[in-house]
Structure 1
Amino acid sequence: MSKPQSHSHDTSTQAPYVLAFDTANEVIAIGVGLLHAGSRSVEVVASVEAEAHRASNTQLLPRVNALLEERGITRESIACVVVGRGPGSFTGVRIALATAKGIASALGVALIGVSSLDTVAWNAWQAGARGQMAVVADAMRKEVYPVRFQLNDAGIERLEADRVVKAEAAAKELCVAAPLMLVGDALKKYGELFKPCGRALDESLWTPTGQGLLRALQALWQAGEVDPFDSSRHHPAYALPVYTRLSDAEENERIRLSKNDPRNLTTGVQDVACRRDQRASMHDTAILNARPDKDGIVYKPLDAAHAPEVAALETRVMGTDAWNEALVADELPRPDRVWWAAYGVSTACQPSKHADAAKPCSAPSSPLCAYPHVQSTLGRAAGESRALQGSSLTEVDQGQISRFDSLQLIGYAGGWIVDGQVQILKVGVDPAYRRQGVARVLLARVAADARDLGATSCSLEVRAGNAGAHKFYEALDFRVLGTRPRYYSDGEDALIMEGPLPLLTHDVAGMELQVNANTSVATQANNLTDVSRETSPASSPTHSASASVQSTHPAHASLPEHVSRETFVDQNSHQSRDASTPDETLQLAARRPLILAIESSCDETAAAIVDGDGNLVADVVASQVDFHARFGGVVPEIASRKHIEAICGVCDECFDVAAAALNVPRLIWSDLDAVAVTYAPGLLGALVVGVAFAKGAAWACDLPLVGVHHLEGHLYANKIGAPDFTPPAVVSLVSGGNTLLVHMADWGNYETLGATIDDAVGEAFDKVAKALGLGYPGGPVISKQAAQGNPAAISFPRAMMHSGDLRFSLSGLKTAVVTYINKEREAARALNIPDICASFQQAVVDVQVKKAEAALKQTGAPTFCLGGGVAANPALRAAYEDLCERLGVRLVMPPFSACGDNAGMIALAALDRYRQQKFLSLDSDAQAHANLDDPY
């Protein structure tokens, strides 16, 4: 295998090439160019386009590889990677970006993103088109991405920012500017609709081309906006897709929250969109389940029910510049607006050192405030707490109740997205909460949504005499552009400030990294103890090994490409290190093979490195749970977006942790012996990101690619806690997406004995928690409540417990619990949440244990194992402990930190597959479903 090194700006030994590609639509465009630093020009060497037929992930790398081989260009000579960022098909854009991130990361070169629409315009320019032209790209849903350009002999000039609009509306707008030249793949669908707007150019000019990508790079280079030789400025983590809209879940959330019945603005008892029957759905409840941060502050999109509170806070902090309630409410439904709010504990309810925690707060509750984790569907009179509606003091302790009831709006921020820029309209924070970073987070939330809506910069007005605000914005790289004289009602001038999107640089894509510090597997054998006696994560020594670590790696800042990154250059670790010393080479040789594994099947972005002895020298996870919590479950599109943002930072952190464990100054991709990735099963869009990234990195370094079945990874997770574990065994796999019993005859030899015929266990936990308004994820909160309840209080069904086979069914149990909850509420009886949770949980455990016992007796297996997120449930673990003790069977369970999705388990499985020489090819793809019995 070749071991390529990163490029520096030294062309004495080989010509520096740029590799460019785009898969934003149904065409794969590939370009190869020669970089001329002196003239800042790009010489087109090759430009190839091919129909993708919805198979970009299987065709892209084989075509890239074939083109370079045909031209005699080595991977080592690639000095820069250019990728089309869209707009276009979300999945198509992410395939190109993930592949490009993998290639650029592995080679240690710059990754530069360009607009896919610009590449179309440049291609038309190269063909001789001059004058005003519109690129109209297909956005599906009867929508298009329309952008006008002015083409002259000097080049192209973009006349407007990326946006998405209905095709009919775009046609009406463009007809005003007619006659135009027209290009774009939307013309295939809407050719007649846009015919009055002008003349369509030849169809060969309608989609991105390799030549257009290279021309776009050259224009940016000559304008000084990019430098293809600067891998610090253009670290792969910084390139992100152009979406121009939020996910469906977020758009629907905005619509729902912007609506309100007028009477609710008076009583304040409705937190979400009002229904005629005045009953909120499970989704209404879950949408408010945003998780509080470490300071107990909850951030969520502003809803119409809190318009009066915003107006009241406006009056307090804005004086004569304050908006009234009607103005605030009018903003929320507008599609080009983004509003966020912060909620905190009332200062009157903040405990003093003399306060009695057992006594409720005496401060009056805000009628418009509801605690995000405890909700009721019944209406109440103004001033009464919705958190306690239909409940009793047995549900939560009184100290909790006072905190639930006292959350109030403490800040808000809004922005208007126009022509590629977000204009900050309002930022207000309760004076009692200032200097706690609330305004910074609110701005970041607005900026993140604005970025997805097509914004690339930010502007605002601020009072000329507000020195504190000037300092705050200057710290965010804003600069003063000019002055609006006598702008405010009292005659004071306004300073116009402009800067980058004020996104947070908090670790990786807004997620804290979890680094498993107890990563050794094989070396634990001498001190082996079974983990079956663990009773709770809090008391588990293995759980405590999973710690939150603040990383300083520059790739962990999820920022758009236009942001200045000079501050990162000094600490940048993306550059290749010098050649290893003989001692370092020997150290690495003694630990081979070194395999990096990537996991992205659901809502965790994870990476791990395993050595030849089965030691996990690094195991890093970035969880997205905070981004999904307010929706009551994982949103696939949000998951895919966060994976593409986080994957570079997670891998970089993994290399840093592994280098420390291996006692070498630096570890890079070319030090590896293989790259592994979860290829199935899971959320297809999420899997695609991991697979495309891994394929790109493996190809760049000429390393073998190992595919791992996600469920097999959960089987291997048992080796993390018990390194001496070997089959045969029966394994219970219980998670949010799977519930099954597996017989392991040997590693790689599996037989599914029974599986759920409908819902998975974890899914049932989430839905019951959603019905109770307990938040997401449901497993931990139900387990916590169940510990205080009576498991025999309510007789819920044990579906298929005596079916005579090993199949499961959770749908009936879930329905029974939800029906019970609704009937109790309709009868206005108090809900005893601990008893409901305990009874539901016991019904689940009883069936799981009964089926497990049957499987052990049927197979005669000497060992029983667990896997999946629900394997962390203390009641389930305790029940299995009792079962195995009674049957005389060894019980092996993964540590709590390894129950959820992680890359450590994928790496351990990959080590065996590597030794068996079971590798994936460049045309491999992700799979939403795959049979565990025949995983490869």
Structure 2
Amino acid sequence: MSQKNYILAFDTANEIIAVGVGKLERETATIKVLASCETPAFRASNTKLIAKIDAALEDAGVAKSELACVACGRGPGSFTGVRICTATAKGIALGLDLPLFGVSTLDAQAWDQWAKGARGEVVVLGDAMRKEVYPVRYVLNDEGPVRQNADFVIKAEATKEWLAASAERQTITGDALGKFAELFAPFGTLAPESDWHPTGAGLLRCVEAAWCNGAFDPDDRALGNPLALLPVYTRLSDAEEHERIKLAKMPEGAARAQELRVGVADPKEGCCASIPVEPGLEDDQGSSVLPAGFEVRFVPLDASWVGEVEALEARVMGSDAWNAAQIIDDLPRSDRTWWAAFLTSDAAKRTVEHGSDTLISYAGGWIVDGGVQILKVATDPRYRRLGIARSLIEQIALDARDLGAHEMSLEVRITNTGAHRFYEELGLKNIGVRPRYYSDREDAVIYEGPLPLPHHDVAGMDLMINDIARAHEGVPSSETLIFAIETSCDETAAAIINGEGEIIADVVASQIDFHARFGGVVPEIASRKHIEAIAGVAFECLEQARETLQNPNLTWKDLSAVAATYAPGLVGALVVGLAFAKGLAWSCDLPLVGVNHLEGHIYANKLACPEIEPPMVVSLVSGGHTMLVEVKDWGEYETLGQTLDDAVGEAYDKVAKALGLGYPGGPLISKLAEKGDPRAIKFPRAMLHSGDYTFSLSGLKTAVLTYLQKEQQADREWNMPDIAASFQQAVIDVQIAKARTALEQTGAREFCLGGGVAANPKLREAYEALCDELGVRLTMPPLKACTDNASMIALVALERYQADKFFDFDCDVAAHVSLDDSY
């Protein structure tokens, strides 16, 4: 096979789509620019990017089949813009089976200035929104730009002082000048407005420089692993930033109690002294094991645990232990990240509490100059060699990466040979010795290396290979194979279906653990996790299909179409899935199928009963929707009624939060309600007698909160099971009453469920009783198919594919669409 000699590079980190096509000159490690195209996007990159890639390739006279590799801008820039670029690039790279490399959007602009003859100091100021900028200073010599600082974010006003720190006359460029040109003009020479954005040629020059530095090789698939490429953010999500500030503060009224705890802590006993530990925690190989019935939970370190941290410090750090004051001083700093591990016996609870959970390990890092310096790693000796320290360091590495770091460094005692082996296993290298570093004059060994991130393929999520596909193992497939993606909320899912409607593969990566500590889904975190996981989930889905079909040579080009959820849902999450699907479909010359997420939940019933046919009534109950739908035919829907305010799942979450149960609330309340009396408390049944199909959950939620407040004021202990059971029964009564009316008035003889709340056991029992009474057939999705999954999207996609209902590459996502409207 002849060698491929061309590279495609593109960037959508700001309001410009930049695309470059170049020829790879392997003998000289240079790239000849064949095409460089720049087009204003105006927040429409997702609709214009594929067309601009086609145009650039046509200008260069290069076919996609001639590409050797792909490069994309990683930012920093608009978070959504960077994710559109990265997701599309991942889809293209997987589809064409090519290496994928990332370059800095800001570096590309510095190379553009260099190509135009600029020398000396050049500052690129990227627009970071919120009156902030991404500033990078470069020194341009005859060989190229030399970066002077790592990526970071700073307020526009504070940038004036940063610019003034240079004694040299500097050229200033970057899209932040579109907002702040007047503010920054006194500090240098502003580049022409036409130079404020990256170009395709600048991206290619970035790649060429990386080639010379060993960071790029068009033939190195390991170096260009599409699963590993991630955007540059420079900061955590707002929820994580606010959490850091909150957790670093001592709880009101807790400062004195903390002093007392610190004062009586016995370093010899350590922070775990109050937890009974079973004998025999050391196995034959000397490795620790957890006590029976316990598990480890990882959460950001809360200042209320300072006493326990100080006690463990004293126990394992000796004369170099920090005291409580030092720990409290370090926690709130914006350039720090601290995580802790706790021993807990409640697997359902996703929070940690004093008295019931025990701190057994912690670690902290300082992010500075593009790296993270590990400040502390400590683990109770009884729980070492369980991978706890590794997990904590990986969490710190994830935070550090989002804050712009790419390397890790630390010091360790020269005599601590076990720690040396551990850090070397993480990929860090011994780069020297710091003499007499510790307080007892012992030398420290310095370790340094790339961030030891957890596997990028599923972003640290639990990867679930669903049983849905298992029933069809070994069944010969038709020639039709459709790949479907679902990213509307907090699950990254992929599935492959054949022409007979058999699910060949089904994979889900759940983000639930990342959102649990915030009490609900955080849209920005969801989007970040989708971009981390999507390529790995897609790859695993293809691997499962190969196994199911007993065809190890199955490739993306053997597919018939690519499908993705386009609406409704979280826009930032939907964008990742649709952009990836576009890249994959374009690269393999396959049609693109868009799917309505709600229609997918209706079709999920086919997983339980493939032969069901309309007319039917469907109850869609989830965290985002509560509605009754009349299905007149597949693709023909009439919404009979929906909630005026909270969805059922949302109400469950809010009540669970009020009860201190954690997130997600549905399973927790359902489990608690099993022990309670559903008639104990008379909560309101809003809209029960409204005469229509409208729902309202806000009043019920408020009634529960009011009841809790009154009980608290009366100094009465909450009867949690009764509260949960009574709340749940109020929800079920209204759902059943509305469903009864819908079945009687429409005359439908089939009733179905859909959505995450459809997995609720009591709700399912109530619907079974209703349908038995009315003589109506009830179909319910398998429990695993109630939550978001790609199999249901694949079922819709198959019918749309067979009807030639395709999307163009200029399609976009939507947060809200009506199920009743055809598309």
TM-score, structure 1 normalization: 0.83
2:146 to 157, 160, 175: 157
Is 1:110 the counterpart of 2:109? The answer is no
The answer as to 2:378 corresponding to 1:428 is yes
Deviation at 1:79, TM superposition (A): 1.3
Other-structure match for 1:548: none
Q: Matched residues in 2 for 1:514 and 1:808: separation?
A: 34
Cα gap change, 1:834 to 1:374, in 2 (>3 Å): farther
Per-residue Cα deviation, 1:228-250 (whole angstroms, up to 9, x for no partner): 22223212111100000000000
Judge conservation of contact 1:265–1:308 (CA < 8 Å) in 2: no
Mapping for residues 760-771 of structure 1, pairs under 5 Å: 760-771=647-658
Distance change >3 Å, CA 935–CA 236, structure 1 → 2: farther
Distance 1:226 1:638 in 2: 29
Select which of 365, 369, 377 maps to 1:419: 369
2:714, 2:25 → 1: CA distance?
78
Distance 1:934 1:922 in 2: 21
CA contact (8 A) 2:20 2:56 kept: no
Query: How many equivalent residue pairs?
Result: 793
Alpha-carbon distance change, 506 to 781 in structure 1, aligned in 2, over 3 angstroms = farther
**Contact 1:108–1:231 at 8 Å: present in 2 too?**
no
The SS at the match of 1:591 is coil
User: 1:449 is matched with which residue: 387, 399, 403?
Assistant: 399
Contact 2:12 2:82 in 1 (8 A): yes
- Per the TM alignment, residue 121 of structure 1 is displaced from its structure 2 partner at its CA by 0.4
**Counterpart residue number, 1:256:** 246
Distance (whole Å) between structure 2 residues aligned to residue 916 and residue 855 of structure 1: 30
For the residues of structure 2 that align with 1:65 and 1:72, how far apart are their CA atoms?
A: 10
Matched, 1:814 2:813: no
Alignment check: 8 A CA contact 1:371 1:407 kept: no
Q: Distance in 2 between matches of 1:232 and 1:313?
A: 40
Deviation at 1:914, TM superposition (A): 0.2
Match of 1:777 in 2: 664
Does structure 1 residue 243 correspond to structure 2 residue 222?
Answer: no
| Structure 1 runs, 4 residues or longer, greater than 6 Å off | none
Write the distance in 1 (CA, Å) between the matches of 2:68 and 2:694: 55
SS in 1 for 2:690: coil
Which of residues 618, 625, 635 in structure 2 aligns to 1:738? 625
Give the percent of matched residue pairs that are identical in Structure 1 and Structure 2. 61
Q: Distance in 2 between matches of 1:506 and 1:35?
A: 28
Please give the per-residue CA displacement for 1:356-408, whole angstroms capped at 9, x wherever unaligned.
xxxxxxxxxxxxxx999499xxxxxxxxxx97xxxxxxxxxxxxxxxx83412
After TM superposition, the structure 1 = structure 2 runs for residues 786-865 of structure 1, keeping only pairs within 5 Å, are 786-865=673-752
Q: What CA distance in whole angstroms lies between the structure 1 residues aligned with 2:197 and 2:494? A: 35
Letter in 2 for 1:310: V
**Residue 607 (str. 1) matches residue 500 (str. 2):** no
Cα shift at 1:595 = 0.2
Q: Which amino acid is the alignment partner of residue 692 of structure 2? A: D
Distance 2:553 2:233 in 1: 35
Distance 1:261 1:478 in 2: 37
User: Residues 484 and 496 of structure 1 are in contact (CA less than 8 Å); yes or no, is this contact kept in structure 2?
Assistant: yes
Q: 1:234 is aligned with what amino acid? A: G
Please point out which of 410, 430, 433 is paired with 1:483.
433
Match for 1:211 among 201, 218, 225? 201
Is contact 1:184-1:205 (8 Å) kept? yes
Which one of 388, 407, 420 corresponds to residue 438 of structure 1? 388
For residues 531 and 457 of structure 2, the distance between their equivalents in structure 1, rounded to whole angstroms, comes to 15
- The question of whether the paired residues in 2 share the 8 Å contact of 1:131 and 1:150 is answered with yes
The alpha-carbon deviation at position 520 of structure 1 amounts to: 6.5
> 2: distance between equivalents of 1:166 and 1:638?
23
Say whether residues 1:698 and 2:648 are aligned partners: no
Quote the residue 1:570 is aligned against.
none
Q: Which residue of 1 aligns with 2:65?
A: 76
Secondary structure, aligned partner of 1:619: strand
What is the DSSP-based 3-state SS (H/G/I as helix, E as strand, rest coil) of the residue aligned with 1:884?
Answer: helix
1:98: which partner in 2?
87
Amino acid at match of 1:221: W
How has the CA–CA distance of structure 1 residues 71 and 155 changed in structure 2, closer, same or farther, with 3 Å as cutoff? closer
Contact 1:130 1:152 in 2 (8 A): yes
Show the counterpart of 1:325.
324
Q: Which moved more, 1:611-620 or 1:302-311?
A: 302-311
**Secondary structure in structure 2 of the residue aligned to 1:414:** strand
The separation in 1 between residues aligned to 2:810 and 2:260, in whole angstroms, is 52
Matched-pair contact (CA < 8 Å) for 2:227–2:457: no
Q: 1:374–1:168: structure 2 CA closer, same or farther, 3 Å change rule?
A: closer
Q: Which moved more, 1:226-235 or 1:435-444?
A: 226-235
Matched ranges for 1:262-661 at <5 A = 263-268=253-258, 296-345=295-344, 373=349, 405-505=355-455, 508-519=458-469, 591-661=478-548
Q: Distance in 2 between matches of 1:406 and 1:747?
A: 51
Whether contact under 8 Å (2:348, 2:668) holds in the other structure is: no
What corresponds to 1:168 in structure 2?
Answer: 157
Tell whether the 8 Å contact from 1:270 to 1:305 is kept in structure 2 after alignment: no
Query: Bigger relative contact order, structure 1 or 2, given CA contacts below 8 A and separation 6+?
Result: 1
Residue identity opposite 2:297 in structure 1:
V
Q: Determine if contact 1:177/1:197 at 8 Å carries over to the other structure.
A: no
Cα displacement string for residues 710-758 of structure 1 (whole angstroms, at most 9, x for unaligned residues):
0000011000011111111000000000000011111101110111111
Match of 1:390 in 2: none
1:667 to 517, 541, 554: 554
Residue matched to 1:37:
26
State the Cα distance separating 1:469 from its structure 2 match. 0.8
* 8 Å contact kept, 1:656–1:666: no
Shift of 1:935: 3.9
Q: Classify the secondary structure of the residue corresponding to 1:238.
A: coil
Quote the offset at 1:823 in angstroms. 1.8
Q: Answer yes or no: is the 8 Å Cα contact 1:136–1:185 preserved in 2.
A: yes
1:801 Cα deviation from its structure 2 partner: 0.6
- Distance of aligned partners of 1:460 and 1:475 in 2 relative to their CA distance in 1, 3 Å threshold: same
Would you say the 8 A contact 2:23–2:33 is kept in 1?
Answer: yes
Contact 1:220–1:226 at 8 Å: present in 2 too?
yes
Measured after TM superposition, the shift of residue 142 of structure 1 is 1.2
User: Which residue type is aligned with residue 156 of structure 2?
Assistant: A
CA change 1:849–1:269 in 2 (3 A) is farther
C-alpha contact 2:618 2:630 (8 A) present in aligned 1: yes
Q: Counterpart in 1 of 2:279?
A: none
Is this contact kept in 2: 1:520–1:615, CA < 8 A?
A: no
* AA at the equivalent of 1:920: F
Structure 2 distance, partners of 1:507, 1:138, is 30
Letter in 2 for 1:762: G
Return the alpha-carbon distance in structure 1 between the equivalents of residues 609 and 218 of structure 2.
48
Deviations 1:872-922, CA, capped at 9 Å, x for gaps: 001100000000000000000001010000000000110000011000001
Contact 1:507/1:513 (CA < 8 Å) preserved in 2? no
Q: Deviations over 1:69-108 (max 9, x none)?
A: 3443211111111100000000000000001101011000
- Residues 516-541 of structure 1 show CA distances to partners (whole Å, capped at 9, x for unaligned) of 123278x79xxxxxxxxxxxxxxxxx
Query: Contact 2:483–2:559 at 8 Å: present in 1 too?
Result: yes
| d(CA) in 1 for partners of 2:252, 2:468 | 56
Distance in 1 (CA, whole Å) between partners of 2:61 and 2:739 is 58
Q: 1:604 to 1:226 in 2, by over 3 A?
A: same
Whether the aligned pair in 2 keeps the contact of 1:415 and 1:426 (CA below 8 Å) is: yes
How far is the alpha carbon of 1:495 from its aligned partner? 1.0
Tell me, what secondary structure is at the counterpart of 2:694?
coil
Q: TM-score, normalised by structure 2?
A: 0.94
Check 1:261–1:740 CA distance in 2 against 1; reply closer, same or farther (3 A cut). closer
2:72 aligns to what SS in structure 1?
Answer: strand
CA contact (8 A) 1:86 1:242 kept: yes
Contact 2:484 2:563 in 1 (8 A): yes
Tell me the residue number matched to 2:42.
Answer: 53
Question: Where does residue 136 of structure 1 map in the other structure?
Answer: 125
* Structure 1 equivalent of residue 635 of structure 2: 748
Q: 1:686-725, CA deviations, whole angstroms, 9 ceiling, x for partnerless residues?
A: 0000000000100111100000000000011000011111
Q: Secondary structure at the match of 1:344?
A: strand
